[in-house]
Amino acid sequence: MKSVLEADDREGVAFLRCETRSLKGGAPVYWLCDIVRRLDVIDEEKSIVEVLDDGTDFRRYDNMTTSGYAFREEAIGSAHIFRPRFLEQWIIYDQAMKDACKAAGVRGLNFGYAYGNYKGLHP
């Protein structure tokens, strides 16, 4: 998965090698991954969204209410994977990223349904 994510969008991800040990020797290599690109992509005028803590450093969107998000495509640019500002618990990816993961046989991912006008969202 590391090689797929780095090949498809190196600027959007960061990895940290984990220290692993095995009593039998030859411990496997594991990596922690973070989606580090944060983009201000939510078009609030076109979205159905409730803003919480507006005007503070803790501004966020209420995920407990029915929401519909419209994204500003120009803010996404050529990014294949990112976290939207104020919804940073979500990871957004495009069809190219999804296809690359599937083609490489990456397992254990849950590709969610696209909400709004962007093709890939997984809370």
Query: pLDDT > 70: what percent of the chain?
Result: 91
| Cβ partners under 8 Å of residue 61, min gap 6 | 42, 49, 50, 51, 52, 67, 86, 87
Q: Is the pLDDT of residue 34 over 80?
A: yes
Look at residue 114 in the predicted model and tell me its pLDDT.
54
Look at residue 121 in the predicted model and tell me its pLDDT.
40
pTM for this predicted structure: 0.79
Three-point CA angle 3, 91, 30, nearest 5°: 35
Q: Is the pLDDT of residue 2 over 50?
A: yes
Give residue 8's pLDDT band: very low, low, confident or very high (50, 70, 90). very high
Give residue 86's pLDDT band: very low, low, confident or very high (50, 70, 90). confident
Q: What are phi and psi of 111, to 5 degrees?
A: -85, 115
pLDDT greater at residue 19 or residue 116:
19
